[in-house]
C-alpha cells in the first residue's frame, strides 16, 4: 500500500540558508506521525512547504498519489491537506463562526458545512458559546481550539498541526492533547509538529526526530519515547 | 440670510464624493498595505471614460439614456486602469521594500496625468462635461444642483451595497481574511491574488462613479482633477481609519463638512479674516488631518495597530 503522504529528499532554503536539508518520511492513512526537535530544526519549514506556502528547492512531495510540486497553496487545501499553522493564526477581527466558515471556503455543501460547524462546537463547547464573538478576543488555548476546528472544516484527508500546545497553560495543553487523541480515535490522519516531545510521542504511531534540517532518528512513538538519546535530549532527563 | 443649511448641504455633497474615492484607498491599503497614489488618476480616467462615451453617442441623445452609458463607460475605464495597475505595476513588486511600490504609484500617477494631457483630444485644459437636464432645486434658502442630486442618491446606494458585500458575501469574507492574514487565507483555499485584484477593482468601480459625479457636479473634467480630489480622499481615508470601509465613508463626510464649514465661517472669527474662502479649503482639510493624527492616530474608526498582530 502506498502512503497518503510521501516526502522524498525534501530540501528547502531561505535564500542561501538551507533550513531543511533533504528529509524523507511518509504518513499512512489513519496514522498519527510526529516531527519533534528543538527550535530551528526545520519542522515548521517542512509543514509550510507541504502546504505550499514555501517552495522546495528540490525533492519530491506526493500526496494522495499526486505530486504537489508547483501546486499553489490555495489549491493544495482542495486536495485534502489542511494546515493549522504555528501561532494559531486565527482571523482576529472575524467572528468564531466566520473563522469556521472560512475553513470550509472551498466546500459547496451547505448542510454539510453546518453539520461540521456543529461538530466543532461539540468538540469545543466554548467555541459554540462564543460563536458571534471576534476571534481575537479568545484566550490562547481557545484560539488553538478554533484553529484546529477551522482546519477540520475542510474535511481533510491529512491534518497538519504545528505546535498546538505552544504557549498554553498545562491544563489547556492537556485538553488540546486529549482532543488530538480523540481525533486519532475517530480515524483522522495527523502530522503533528510538537516541542512537547513526551506528549507527542505518547500519541504518535511514528515519530521522527529532527535536528538542524535533517531527520536524525525515526521509529515508533513508543520506541522513541524509550530511546535513551531522545530522553536525554528532548525529555529533560539526565 | 442663514447660510448654515446650504453649507451643511455643500459639505455633505462634497463629502459623499470624497467618500466614494476614499473607498479605493482604504480597500487597497487594507489588503496590501499600499497607498495607491495613482488612485486619484484612476478617478480621473473614470471621468474621461464617461466623457468619451458621451462624445460617441449621437447628438441629441437624452441624458436619461446617456447617463447609464456614461456611468458604465466611466466605471469600465477606471476599473480597467485599476486592475492594470495592480497586475502590471504593483503585483511584480509584492514583497519588495515598501518604498518601491510607493514610488511606482507616484510615477504611475504622473504617467496617467501626462498620457491624458498629451493624447486625449483637447485635454490640455478642462473639457466640458454634459449636465443632467433638471434643477437646480430650491428648498427654502437651500439650492441643490443636479450633480448634487446624483451624488446624494448614488453615494449611499454604493456604500450600502459595498457594506453588504464585504460583510455578507463569501468573497467579501475571503477579502477580509486576506487583509488580516494572507498566508493563512491561502491555507483556507483562498486565491489571495484574486482577492487583491478584487479590492483594486472595487476601488476602480467607485472611482469611476465618482469621476462621473465630479463631471456632473463641476461641469468639466480635467487631466489633473485627480490630484486635489485624490489628496482629499486620501485624507478622508486616513481620517476615518485607513483600511476600514466604514471609516472611508465617515471620513469623507467629516472632511467634506469640515471644509464647507471652515471656508464659510473661519473668516468670521476675529483675527482670521484672511483665512476663509475656497482657497483655504485644502489647508483646513489638512489641519483637521494633523489634529486627528495627533489625537487619534488610528483614525476615527480605525483599530489600534496592536490589534492587527
Q: Which of A83, A85, A105 shows the shortest C-beta gap to B174? A: A105
Please state whether the peptide bond connecting residue B228 to the residue before it is cis, i.e. omega within 30 degrees of 0.
no
A5-14 and A58-63 strand pairing: antiparallel
Cβ-defined contact of A72 to B307 (cutoff 8 Å): no
ipTM rounded to 2 decimals: 0.94
Tell me, yes or no, if B192 comes closer than 8 A to chain A by beta carbon.
yes
Are A63 and A81 spatial neighbours (Cβ–Cβ below 8 Å)?
A: yes
**pLDDT at residue B104, as a whole number:** 97
Ranges of chain B whose pLDDT falls below 50? 305-309
Domains of chain B with bracketed CATH = 4-307 (1.10.3470)
pTM beyond 0.90: the answer is yes
Are A49 and A20 spatial neighbours (Cβ–Cβ below 8 Å)?
A: yes
Tell me, yes or no, if B188 comes closer than 8 A to chain A by beta carbon.
yes
Q: Which three cell numbers stand for residue B37?
A: 497614489
CA dihedral B23, B28, B29, B34 (to 10 degrees): -140
**pLDDT at residue B1, as a whole number:** 56
Query: Which of residues 277 through 306 in chain B touch A, CB cutoff 8 A?
Result: 303
Enter the DSSP assignment of A95.
Answer: B
Q: Sort out which chain B residues have CB atoms less than 8 A from A102's CB and list them.
A: 173-174, 177, 185, 188, 190
Distance from CA of B285 to the nearest CA of A (A): 30
Instruction: Give per-residue pLDDT as tens, B256-298.
Output: 999 999 988 888 888 888 887 788 888 988 899 899 889 999 9
- Describe chain A by its helix, strand, coil percentages, rounded to 5: 40, 25, 35
Tell me, yes or no, if B189 comes closer than 8 A to chain A by beta carbon.
yes
Q: Which of B170, B192, B307 shows the shortest C-beta gap to A74? A: B192
Nearest residue of chain A to residue B179 (CA atoms): A91
Which of A78, A79, A102 should be substituted to probe chain B, the one whose Cβ sees the most B Cβ atoms within 10 Å? A102
Q: Which of A74, A82, A89 shows the shortest C-beta gap to B181? A: A89
Cβ-defined contact of A93 to B176 (cutoff 8 Å): yes
**pLDDT at residue A196, as a whole number:** 87
Instruction: Give per-residue pLDDT as tens, A17-76.
Output: 999 999 999 999 999 999 999 888 999 999 999 999 999 999 999 999 999 998 999 999
Q: Sort out which chain B residues have CB atoms less than 8 A from A85's CB and list them.
A: 183-184, 187
Cβ-defined contact of B183 to A91 (cutoff 8 Å): no
Distance from CA of B298 to the nearest CA of A (A): 16
**pLDDT at residue B140, as a whole number:** 86
Cβ-defined contact of A73 to B184 (cutoff 8 Å): no
Name, in order, each residue with C-beta under 8 angstroms of A114's C-beta and a sequence gap of 6 or more.
Answer: none
**Pairs across A and B, CB distance < 8 A:** 65
Name, in order, each residue with C-beta under 8 angstroms of A79's C-beta and a sequence gap of 6 or more.
Answer: A63, A64, A66, A68, A71, A157
Q: How confident is the model at residue A181 (pLDDT cuts 50, 70, 90)?
A: very high
Distance from CA of B169 to the nearest CA of A (A): 11
**pLDDT at residue B306, as a whole number:** 42
d(CA A218, CA B104): 51
Q: Between A229 and B210, where is the model more confident?
A: B210
Amino acid at each position: 500500500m502506498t502512503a497518503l503522504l510521501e516526502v522524498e529528499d525534501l530540501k528547502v532554503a531561505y535564500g542561501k540558508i538551507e533550513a531543511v536539508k533533504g528529509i524523507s518520511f511518509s504518513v499512512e492513512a489513519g496514522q498519527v506521525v510526529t516531527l519533534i526537535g528543538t527550535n530551528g530544526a526545520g519542522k515548521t519549514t517542512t509543514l509550510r512547504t507541504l502546504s505550499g506556502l514555501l517552495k522546495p528547492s528540490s525533492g519530491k512531495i506526493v500526496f494522495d498519489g499526486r505530486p504537489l510540486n508547483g501546486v499553489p497553496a490555495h489549491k493544495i487545501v482542495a486536495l485534502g491537506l489542511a494546515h493549522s499553522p504555528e501561532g494559531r493564526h486565527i482571523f482576529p477581527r472575524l467572528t468564531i463562526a466566520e473563522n469556521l466558515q472560512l475553513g470550509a471556503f472551498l466546500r459547496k455543501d451547505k448542510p454539510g458545512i453546518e453539520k461540521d460547524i456543529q461538530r466543532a462546537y461539540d468538540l469545543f463547547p466554548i467555541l459554540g458559546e462564543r460563536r458571534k464573538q471576534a476571534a481575537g478576543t479568545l484566550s490562547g488555548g481557545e484560539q488553538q481550539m478554533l484553529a484546529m476546528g477551522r482546519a477540520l472544516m475542510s474535511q481533510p484527508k491529512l491534518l497538519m498541526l504545528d505546535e498546538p500546545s505552544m504557549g498554553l497553560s498545562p491544563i489547556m495543553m492537556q485538553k488540546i492533547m486529549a482532543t488530538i487523541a480523540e481525533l486519532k480515535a475517530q480515524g483522522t490522519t495527523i502530522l503533528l509538529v510538537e516541542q512537547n516531545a513526551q506528549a507527542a510521542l505518547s500519541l504518535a504511531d511514528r515519530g521522527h526526530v529532527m535536528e538542524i534540517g535533517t531527520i536524525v532518528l525515526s521509529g515508533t512513538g513508543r520506541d522513541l519515547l524509550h530511546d535513551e538519546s531522545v530522553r536525554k535530549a528532548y525529555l529533560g532527563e539526565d | 440670510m442663514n447660510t448654515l443649511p446650504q453649507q451643511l448641504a455643500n459639505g455633505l455633497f462634497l463629502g459623499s464624493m470624497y467618500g466614494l474615492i476614499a473607498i479605493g484607498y482604504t480597500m487597497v491599503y487594507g489588503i496590501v498595505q499600499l497607498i495607491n497614489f495613482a488612485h486619484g488618476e484612476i478617478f480621473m480616467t473614470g471621468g474621461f471614460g464617461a466623457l468619451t462615451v458621451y462624445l460617441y453617442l449621437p447628438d441629441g441623445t437624452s441624458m436619461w439614456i446617456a447617463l447609464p452609458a456614461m456611468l458604465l463607460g466611466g466605471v469600465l475605464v477606471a476599473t480597467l486602469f485599476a486592475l492594470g495597475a495592480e497586475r502590471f505595476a504593483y503585483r511584480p513588486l509584492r514583497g519588495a521594500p515598501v518604498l518601491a511600490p510607493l514610488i511606482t504609484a507616484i510615477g504611475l500617477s504622473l504617467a496617467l496625468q501626462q498620457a491624458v494631457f498629451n493624447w486625449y483630444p483637447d485635454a490640455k485644459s478642462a473639457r466640458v462635461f454634459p449636465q443632467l437636464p433638471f434643477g437646480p432645486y430650491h428648498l427654502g434658502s437651500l439650492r441643490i444642483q443636479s450633480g448634487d442630486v446624483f451624488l446624494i442618491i448614488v453615494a449611499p446606494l454604493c456604500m450600502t451595497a459595498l457594506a453588504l458585500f464585504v460583510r455578507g458575501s463569501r468573497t467579501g469574507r475571503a477579502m477580509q481574511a486576506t487583509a488580516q492574514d494572507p498566508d493563512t487565507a491561502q491555507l483556507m483555499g483562498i486565491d489571495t491574488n484574486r482577492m487583491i485584484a478584487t479590492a483594486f477593482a472595487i476601488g476602480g468601480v467607485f472611482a469611476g462613479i465618482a469621476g462621473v459625479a465630479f463631471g456632473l457636479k463641476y461641469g468639466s473634467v480635467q487631466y489633473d482633477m485627480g490630484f486635489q480630489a485624490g489628496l482629499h480622499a486620501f485624507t478622508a481615508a486616513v481620517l476615518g481609519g485607513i483600511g476600514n470601509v466604514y471609516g472611508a465613508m465617515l471620513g469623507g463626510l467629516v472632511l467634506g463638512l469640515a471644509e464647507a464649514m471652515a471656508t464659510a465661517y473661519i473668516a468670521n472669527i476675529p483675527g482670521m479674516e484672511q483665512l476663509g474662502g475656497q482657497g483655504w479649503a485644502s489647508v483646513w482639510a489638512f489641519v483637521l488631518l494633523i489634529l486627528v493624527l495627533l489625537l487619534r492616530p488610528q483614525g476615527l474608526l480605525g483599530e489600534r495597530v496592536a490589534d492587527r498582530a
